[in-house]
Amino acid sequence: MKWVVATWNRDKFKEIEAIFRDLPVNLLSMRDFPDLGAVEETGTTLEQNALLKARAVHAATGLPAIADDTGLAVDALDGAPGVYTARFAGPNASYEENVAKLMALLKGLPPAQRTARFSTCAAFVDAHGELTAEGTVPGTITTRSRGTAGFGYDPVFQPDGETRTFAQMPLAQKQARSHRAIAFEALCRQLDHTFSTNLLEETKA
């Protein structure tokens, strides 16, 4: 089976590809369809944006599509950046620019006031329907960047119960507890149940 991951982001694709590595699915990215344009994320929730991307890519390619939208909610910023996490410092902001803006806004705050949550909504869309699943990891924004692995806000996000940031963890260890892995693993369970149910119904028919 061929599915399209609705992202141009190589780092995100790498993580999703690792989650699906044991399934009989050949994952393609939007880079395999250079004529596809960017999908405008106009939703006000992670679920809305994930579905917008999956629906658009499915409609354009005719293939099943999976997508996610991820948000970092910082308590001291009243839940910001939220759905604007990837473009916190501007529409084309780099990872470093987004982190710099976040750190500037939290400057001087002690760890107890730097609590945050990373959340992902994963979506699947094909000709038969739509599925979504969510994953959330609570943690703290560190006072300085630590680690060189991962991407995005990983160098400044330390999940609860850990002494390391996501960027200080090897990919396999991050995958064991990341918000994206939780969301996509939950989606995989739904997909497995859906496919098994459909196959049973087809057999009975």
Which residues does the annotation mark as catalytic?
69
121 residue type, one letter: C
Is omega for the bond preceding 34 within 30 degrees of 0, making it cis? no
How does 67-92 read in b/e, with b if 16+ C-beta sit within 10 Å? bbbbbbbbeebeebbbbebbebbeee
